[in-house]
Structure 1
Amino acid sequence: MMNLLKPLALALAFATPLHAEIDIQPVTSPQGFSAWLSEESSIPFVAIEIIFPGGANLDPEGAEGAVSLMSGLLSEGAGDLDAQEYAAALESLAGSVAFSAGRDSVSLSIQALSENRDQVIELARLALMEPRFDDAALNRARAQQLSSLERAARDPNSIASRTFNELAYVGHPYARPTGGTPESVAALDRDAILSAHQTALTRDRVLIGAAGDISAEELGAILDRLLADLPEASVPLPDYAGFTAPPGITVVPHDGPQSVIAFGHAGLPRDDPDFMPAFVLNEIFGGGRFGTRLMTELRETRGLTYGVGTSLASASHGDSFQGRLSTANNRVAEVVEILRNEWEWLAGGGISEDDLERIKTYLTGAYPLRFDGNGSIASILASMQFQGFDIDYVNIRNDLVNAITLADLERTAARLIKPEALHFVIVGQPEGLD
């Protein structure tokens, strides 16, 4: 019977029907924790997403990777339960308690059947408040992280990302690897993990989304139970990172028949008035799928790459407009020239009214598909807060897209797109570069 419960929980997670409008209510717990809730009682399932801003940015210098390693250990035993007992307890309840860490945040995702909700919440509370950080689990997780870093050191895409960040954010935590370095991770002991736990999971830096079979009153009580005993923040978040990579090309030699090219320049923050036009502009230009300008020019027309994409990499403490592709070593110089020309095309108002109308149809049609279950909705509600959006954003987002005009795109392109500022990081054995 136990093995049948997990598939049932997953089925319920995705059984919530799509809504034309999501009813979101703000919730404040008795102890002052704020959350956004989409209540849906027709299916006996609840999902809660909790984001703790900070993440790997809070790693002390020389202890890079501590928050990432700590987050991976939180569900590796808690309270009186060792790692195997903790996993078995969750499985018996068809519940899920999952932690993840990035450079800007640590996230906790909780999913449970209504009948088992309180027991799953208690397991989540144990992981937050009473993680064991046993030596065996720490040694295993540290070895896994070191193995991952070893693979990344040989992977051209990872090398390109690391090099681009080092150039783009000199002197800022964004220039450091989220997962740490082999040297820093090898030196992480239990004291470093305990320190990361106290630093990264704090009661005054928390954003919460919830969806499913739960009332505002029930959610408030759960949040107090989960979070009230966490410490206050003791380490400040980093300052804003100005983009520091100069125009030009950086080559990182790497054996292989192809080169990875990471490219970009400064971007726009999410609270910029032109952020939505910039988002739409990027979806037309290099949104990472067939039909974009770059995919058409570089793959379909010239066969220079299997895929190319650009993105507004607008993060909590720094922003860039960047892209990535791979190409044969003997075509790198050609690709770099085409990318510069395409940047000129975009900056000069190359997007047409037809381009804009096509992307509006795509973006407004695809958006509701994101809300495919309580887990997705809870995650989106927490992410909206993390990104600084208003509570009604999900219900007006398509209106915002439809309101964008060609003049908006041209104004935004003139501000954002700087062909002369492009920096290219090329990992491989490129030929023909000046």
Structure 2
Amino acid sequence: MSDRNLLRRGLYGLALLCAFGLAACDSETGETVASIPPAKNVATPAESGQAIAKAQDETRLESLDELDDQPLPRRKLDIQSWQTEGGAKVLFVEAHELPMFDLRLTFAAGSSQDGGTPGLAMLTNAMLNEGIEGKDVTAIAEGFEGLGADFGNGSYRDMAIASLRSLSAADKREPALQLFSQVVGQPSFPEDSLQRIRNQVLTGFEFQKQNPGKLASLELFEQLYQNHPYAHPSEGTSESIPGIGIAQLRDFHARAYTAGNVVIALVGDLSREEAEAIAAQVSAALPQGAALPPPPVPQAPAATHEHIDFPSNQTHLLLAQLGIPRGHPDYAALYLGNQILGGGGFGTRLMEEVREKRGLTYGVYSGFSPMQTNGPFMINLQTRANMSDATLQLVQQLVGEFLEKGPTEAELERSKRQIAGSFPLSTASNADIVGQLGSIGFYDLPLTYLEDFMQQVQALSVEDVKVAMNEHLRADGFVIVTAGPEVEQKPLPPPSEKPLEQPSSVPEH
């Protein structure tokens, strides 16, 4: 093994030791100790000290050496689920390690529900904490801060989020929940706040004009989804935002922020009885109504290549095809295949061939993004403007070869180990868990989804991955958008273990 790989392996092992506490910890001193086998003979203090140090070093080295082959222990989740009287789906994990809890509401209220008014979902979500009866945005912020609580919100294509983190003691929990319920269930949508946020969004659109990567991404979704609700940007457009008024926000909130259209995820220092009371309180504070229908299935577009002329040093390359909806039975195979192709960082096919052997980019990444309906499979990178055409051809060639031959057995086993090793991070904190619960509930996945997914990944064969990747991807089926200057093109350098030339500059965006 090379020094470079040894270093990488050692640092990875050390990071995992720190993250998951694999070394023993003395309960009184708090110092890290190692188990030392009993000595067969009496030794001097100096010899004992040397022996202990040597044994500690050997123990640590053995532990690090074994990390590549043994998955880390996983946090077993006991997920409880029920439905409130108003129709809200609830998922709860009891966790008493810390005196706090995390609450996340996930509404089917993303930009796919905008209708003919792009940006409506985003503005509604952004306005939640701008005012309630008797409190303006400053008073709301001070209210949460005074209780040691944290409010969060966000809007995306499929969903809109509102979250609360609070101490679990009743004197903090109850007023924090009362304020949160008002903010999410009865926002006042003040006119002055709407004008301020509209101006901020419009200013952001002006900045986007100087970002070739963002321009390419907007064009890519438009080309990939065409007339589908996913086609327009979640933040709206410069044409739609100025015309959105208070009445539209109130109407959208009344139909999209209902108890029947939300998943309530709870994790933390709560009993089942307390969790049921919280869910009932939040559900009752929301408008009462049914779930909104999911967006329709998109039609696959024809392969295209659009170029945006932009005066930058590098060219952005974005390639996409329609992928799969969340919950598709092929997801585990596609996830594993993509980790080998371009989703797993260093060591992937794309990274090795495009960066490591030719020095054409700082990073090239691929990934499936399953959503309520077919989300995109995307590849993105930046490269030298004068080699962008040849780099694009190389990426397409690598995808074609991967589809034709599939992964090797060695690649498959390595990626399985990496996925098993990183899996504990998905439930390492209460915040991680509440996010997982929100997704499980929102996409109607089984409560055993996380464990099922790991078992599915470990059972996959090379042929399984190859078949799934070919079922959902075509080498010649990409919608491609590039953004960069029009310059004379050069051929690629030959592959080398040590590329002669590195990328011309750091990524621009």
Question: What TM-score, normalized by structure 2, do the two folds share?
Answer: 0.78
Equivalent residue in structure 1 for 2:115, among 60, 64, 85: 60
- Quote the Cα distance in structure 1 between the aligned partners of 2:134 and 2:397: 62
Q: 1:414 Cα shift?
A: 2.4
1:409-424 matches, cutoff 5 A: 409-424=465-480
| Aligned mates of 2:94, 2:291 — CA distance in 1 | 34
Cα deviation, 1:303-353, whole Å, max 9, x if unaligned, reads 111111111122212233211111111011111110121011111124100
Aligned match of 2:299 in 211, 221, 242? 242
Letter in 2 for 1:382: G
How far apart, CA to CA, are the structure 1 residues paired with 2:470 and 2:87? 44
Provide the C-alpha distance between the structure 1 equivalents of 2:476 and 2:89, rounded to a whole number of angstroms. Answer: 45
Identify the residue that residue 7 of structure 1 maps to in structure 2.
Answer: none
Q: Distance in 2 between matches of 1:160 and 1:184?
A: 20
Q: Paired residue for 1:335?
A: 391
SS of aligned partner of 2:227: coil
For 1:21, what is the secondary structure of its paired residue?
coil
Give how far 1:196 is off. Answer: 2.3
Structure 1 SS opposite 2:153: strand
Indicate the residue corresponding to 1:208 in structure 2: 264
1:364 maps onto 2:420 in alignment: yes
Question: What amino acid sits opposite 1:69 in the alignment?
Answer: L
Alignment of 1:127-276 (within 5 A): 127-228=183-284, 229-233=286-290, 236-244=293-301, 246-276=302-332
Letter in 1 for 2:430: N
Q: CA RMSD in A?
A: 2.2
Contact 1:333 1:431 in 2 (8 A): no
CA distance in 1: counterparts of 2:469 and 2:246, whole angstroms? 49
The SS at the match of 1:204 is: helix
Contact map agreement 2:406 2:462 (CA 8 A) in 1:
no
Q: Is the 8 A contact 1:346 1:417 kept in 2?
A: no
Contact between 1:332 and 1:432, CA under 8 Å: does it hold in 2? no
1:30–1:321 distance in 2 versus 1, CA, 3 Å: closer
Corresponding residue number in structure 1 for 2:126 = 72
Q: State the match for 1:407 in structure 2.
A: 463
Secondary structure, in 3 states, of the residue corresponding to 1:209? strand
Report if the CA contact (8 A) 1:262-1:324 is conserved.
Answer: yes
CA distance in 1, matches of 2:271, 2:435: 18
* Identity rate, percent: 27
Q: Which has the larger radius of gyration?
A: 2
Where 2:315 maps in the other structure, the secondary structure is: strand
Equivalent residues of 1:333, 1:430 under 8 A apart: no
* Amino acid aligned to 1:281: G
Tell whether the 8 Å contact from 1:57 to 1:104 is kept in structure 2 after alignment: yes
CA distance in 2, matches of 1:15, 1:364: 14
Return 5+ residue gaps in structure 2 as ranges: 1-18, 23-72, 491-509
Q: After TM superposition, give the deviation of residue 178 of structure 1 in Å.
A: 0.9
Give yes or no for contact 1:35–1:209 (8 Å, CA) kept in 2: yes
Contact residue 288 and residue 295 of structure 1 kept, 8 A: no
Q: 1:419 is paired with a residue of what secondary structure?
A: coil
CA distance in 1, matches of 2:333, 2:293: 32
User: Which one of the candidate residues 24, 33, 43 is aligned to 2:88?
Assistant: 33
Residues 95-133 of structure 1 deviation map (CA, whole Å, 9 limit, x = unaligned): 012111111111111111012111111111111122122
From 105, 119, 131, the equivalent of 1:50 is 105
SS state of the match for residue 311, structure 1?
strand
- Aligned residues between the structures: 419
User: Is 2:181 the partner of 1:125?
Assistant: yes
Counterpart of 2:77, as a letter, is: I
Query: By how many angstroms is 1:16 displaced?
Result: 12
1:66-87 Cα shifts (integer Å, max 9, x gaps)? 2111211111222211111110
For 1:351, give the aligned amino acid.
P
Tell me if structure 1 keeps the 8 A contact 2:75–2:428. no
Amino acid at match of 1:380: Q
- Does the 8 Å contact 1:250/1:424 carry over to 2? yes
Quote the Cα distance in structure 2 between the aligned partners of 1:234 and 1:385: 13
8 Å Cα contact 2:88/2:261 also seen in 1: no
Specify which of 347, 366, 369 is matched with residue 310 of structure 1. 366
> Bigger CA drift: 29-38 or 416-425?
29-38
User: 1:242 touches 1:318 (CA, 8 Å); kept in 2?
Assistant: no
What is the match of residue 163 of structure 2?
109
Taking the TM superposition and a 5 Å limit, the aligned residue runs for 1:376-387 are 376-387=432-443
Change (3 A) 1:234 1:192: farther
Q: 3-state SS of the aligned residue for 2:338?
A: helix
TM (norm. structure 1) is 0.91
Once the two structures are superposed, residues 229-266 of structure 1 have per-residue CA deviations (whole angstroms, 9 ceiling, x without a partner) of 4131486442111222x223111111112111110223
The answer to whether the Cα contact below 8 Å between 2:82 and 2:91 also exists between their aligned partners in 1 is yes
Q: Which residue identity lines up with residue 82 of structure 2 in the other structure? A: V
Query: Which of 300-309 and 420-429 deviates more?
Result: 420-429
1:323 to 379, 382, 403: 379
The secondary structure found in structure 2 opposite 1:412 is helix
One-letter code aligned to 2:425: L
- CA drift of 1:358 comes to 0.6
What is residue 3 of structure 2 aligned with on the other side? none
Aligned equivalent of 1:84: 138
3-state DSSP of counterpart to 2:209: helix
